[in-house]
Structure 1
């Protein structure tokens, strides 16, 4: 029931058992082709192994049973592939170790999974750029420590979200060369099983699969895999922040945005009026779950000697789950933000909730050149205290303060500085910068 809340069909397809075994077979076939190119095994044998890898019908029940006995799936799979390759079966898995094939298969999965993540980030960036553009000058209350702080615009808020997504897009591109490396090194990583041709075979193997050749064996150097999952933690962390903003802004007392309306979505079994922010809730849940997988992967980097006793196995759980959760969170974000309902009137009403207190800084900074910053602060601070106690308008109270009237020049100037729509800082310019950078990055991508 929950699989499409915490995964997507496209990402599940990458990490399915059938796809994983297919990657194992792809790696075995590539190894045979590479070794034939290096003259280590007969070309005819490589052709037979390659053909068998593409036509074999895997007995998954047998594979599962034998995997549970052996502890790893490669030896049981090699038995089936060798039989399918006939006489050429003697050359299957030549000089390789189990982890060579499993690590390479994982990297092939990561390549496909990162392609999906990258495409989703581009799409999400486009959605956020549209939001930022549309609401560039829409004023709303900026909040710090859950209190109204200074006016901002909703476009500015969307631009902050956009800037994070654009950095994640860059991170994905930058991480690929470090993550997408093949693995062929033999039992202890020294390539002793294939002699002096080892590095050449390794190069050809990686070339066959379109992967980078590693500088040294990474059987126990798991930083690349850990980086991939840590990157997902950063992405879902940003999505969790966006979700938190939207959920809080959707609260009845705020009423500034609503998730897209779909009949029945977010409904309560008992309260007919409810319209819960389900997409945001799923995004936040995914962020919390992926965070745990990041911690697991960092723990899993601590391997013993040249082959680990346990930490490697953590990847078998965390890598697929982290990618599924991230894909689901991105899907929720795209749906939610593309159809986000923005209540501009409520944003304006909320700006006036404090009767001008939200622009106290504006008055203070305007008076500071004449009074000095600290004196201006003290006078405005006292006026704010009176406004809070009486519930009156800050502008009216300040109008009775001769120091402020003199410093600003007139009561009309006081009222002008107490207009929150006139104290938006460089919100609009920051929106423009964020959108321009996103467009520039898109142009470079082609």
Structure 2
């Protein structure tokens, strides 16, 4: 009987909301088993090229290295006995390759060489998926920032109207960290995508003076870099990779939080992509819940919980860890899966969001343009004094809110203000579009980074 998944992200039903099938195909158990076989086959070919292993044996091992041929039940039994799948996998690979080739399988390697290099290969595939979707999300947000560069809306601090901004500015604020993360990923990958091959304690003693040449040949076969020293007990790049996932998820959480708040009935300025039945309620037909935002946040929190687990796994003892390293399989593939799931949801939001510019304008006007109080005060201060200007504008805001009239009208009733500022000037200074500061410049700067 096939075991039933415990983690919802691995289930047939809940799994559609957590992660993606593409990432499961890259870092799931069968993918990792195939990558282990790929490493074993590449090792045999590299050693054959150096005259260590017969070419016929390398050919037979390569032909047999197919995960679909494995007896998974037998492999599970062997794994239970040894604590790792590699011993059982090598035994089955040898049986599939034939008696003569079996003598040469896993030559000079140790279990962790195979597991670590297989993980790196899986991460290469996984990060390519993430890189592609990150690029699409960047493109979508850039298009929104460009389209809405001058679409005025309320800027909010502590969930209250503060000063005017533009929706393009808000999109650029979302976009900038993703551009940073793209740069960080491109910088990280060369450190991460390196072969691990060191033998029993990392010295390659079993291969004599040919050890470094084998490592280089293995790296060439797999398209990986060669480290200056085996890294089996130095897990910094793995921790860096998962930490990068955590930072990405934090940036996506910012986007999801903002969109979720903008979707509130009382705000109604931006909405997730909509399709029939999506975000509906079992009892309230009118509901349009922020489902994508909610799952960005849920998956991000899952990744953030896994980052400390990978950090803790760096505390390895001597030349082979007794516990911390074994915790990585519980955290790293799951972090990749949830990260891609969060990014997939965020990409859909960025590409398909609905923006209601008219509602943004109505919300600006809902307080009678009181959002322009600072602008008016700053304009009056040079002629009235800062204290007097503050008091006059504060009084006008009270009138505007109490009587539900525009701030411009309330200001015009104040003789102290009207005597120093004409109606046209008051109208100009209370227009939210006149007080955007350098918002447009900042949008342009962020967009300039795309080229």
Return the TM-score normalized by structure 2: 0.91
After TM superposition, give the deviation of residue 151 of structure 1 in Å: 0.6
> How do 1:203-214 and structure 2 match up within 5 A?
203-214=216-227
User: Contact (CA 8 Å) 1:148, 1:358: kept in 2 or not?
Assistant: yes
> How do 1:61-100 and structure 2 match up within 5 A?
61-86=73-98, 87-100=100-113
Cα distance in 1 between the residues matched to 2:44 and 2:170: 54
Structure 1: segments with no counterpart, 5+ residues: 441-446
After TM superposition, give the deviation of residue 308 of structure 1 in Å: 1.2
> How do 1:317-336 and structure 2 match up within 5 A?
317-336=330-349
**Residue 345 in 1 paired to residue 364 in 2?**
no
Cα distance in 1 between the residues matched to 2:91 and 2:68: 12
User: Contact (CA 8 Å) 1:74, 1:98: kept in 2 or not?
Assistant: yes
Structure 2: segments with no counterpart, 5+ residues: 1-12
Q: Which moved more, 1:344-353 or 1:52-61?
A: 52-61
Residue in 1 that maps onto 2:38:
26
- Three-state SS of the structure 1 residue aligned to 2:65 is helix
* Alignment deviations for residues 165-223 of structure 1 (CA, whole Å, 9 cap, x no partner): 22222222111011111100011112122122222211111111111111112111111
> How do 1:141-152 and structure 2 match up within 5 A?
141-152=154-165
> How do 1:319-398 and structure 2 match up within 5 A?
319-371=332-384, 376-377=389-390, 379-381=392-394, 383-384=396-397, 393-398=406-411
* Alignment deviations for residues 289-328 of structure 1 (CA, whole Å, 9 cap, x no partner): 1111112111222222221111112210111111111211
Residue in 1 that maps onto 2:138:
125
Cα distance in 1 between the residues matched to 2:229 and 2:418: 73
Return the TM-score normalized by structure 1: 0.92
Q: Which moved more, 1:374-383 or 1:275-284?
A: 374-383
After TM superposition, give the deviation of residue 261 of structure 1 in Å: 2.0
Q: Which moved more, 1:47-56 or 1:187-196?
A: 47-56
Q: Which moved more, 1:285-294 or 1:374-383?
A: 374-383
Cα distance in 1 between the residues matched to 2:195 and 2:105: 18
User: Contact (CA 8 Å) 2:153, 2:167: kept in 1 or not?
Assistant: yes
- Three-state SS of the structure 2 residue aligned to 1:169 is helix
After TM superposition, give the deviation of residue 374 of structure 1 in Å: 6.1
**Residue 180 in 1 paired to residue 203 in 2?**
no
Residue in 1 that maps onto 2:249:
236
Task: Label 1:272 to 1:353 Cα distance change in 2 as closer, same or farther (>3 A).
Answer: same
**Residue 434 in 1 paired to residue 442 in 2?**
no
After TM superposition, give the deviation of residue 71 of structure 1 in Å: 0.8
Cα distance in 2 between the residues matched to 1:238 and 1:121: 12
Residue in 1 that maps onto 2:64:
52
**Residue 197 in 1 paired to residue 210 in 2?**
yes
After TM superposition, give the deviation of residue 392 of structure 1 in Å: 5.2
Cα distance in 1 between the residues matched to 2:365 and 2:132: 41
After TM superposition, give the deviation of residue 42 of structure 1 in Å: 2.6
After TM superposition, give the deviation of residue 412 of structure 1 in Å: 2.8
Cα distance in 2 between the residues matched to 1:353 and 1:134: 25
- Three-state SS of the structure 1 residue aligned to 2:201 is coil
Task: Label 1:178 to 1:377 Cα distance change in 2 as closer, same or farther (>3 A).
Answer: farther
Residue in 1 that maps onto 2:177:
164
After TM superposition, give the deviation of residue 23 of structure 1 in Å: 0.4
Residue in 1 that maps onto 2:301:
288
Cα distance in 2 between the residues matched to 1:117 and 1:375: 56
**Aligned residue pairs: how many?**
438
After TM superposition, give the deviation of residue 120 of structure 1 in Å: 0.3
User: Contact (CA 8 Å) 1:175, 1:228: kept in 2 or not?
Assistant: yes
Cα distance in 2 between the residues matched to 1:113 and 1:55: 19
Cα distance in 1 between the residues matched to 2:269 and 2:447: 23
Cα distance in 2 between the residues matched to 1:399 and 1:56: 81
Cα distance in 2 between the residues matched to 1:108 and 1:370: 69
- Three-state SS of the structure 2 residue aligned to 1:3 is helix
User: Contact (CA 8 Å) 1:7, 1:325: kept in 2 or not?
Assistant: yes
Cα distance in 2 between the residues matched to 1:37 and 1:374: 84
User: Contact (CA 8 Å) 1:4, 1:328: kept in 2 or not?
Assistant: no
Cα distance in 2 between the residues matched to 1:419 and 1:20: 60
Task: Label 1:168 to 1:55 Cα distance change in 2 as closer, same or farther (>3 A).
Answer: closer
Give me the CA root mean square deviation. 2.0
Cα distance in 1 between the residues matched to 2:287 and 2:358: 21
* Alignment deviations for residues 221-270 of structure 1 (CA, whole Å, 9 cap, x no partner): 11111111111111111111111111111111111122222111111111
- Three-state SS of the structure 2 residue aligned to 1:140 is strand
Cα distance in 1 between the residues matched to 2:199 and 2:267: 61
User: Contact (CA 8 Å) 2:37, 2:67: kept in 1 or not?
Assistant: no
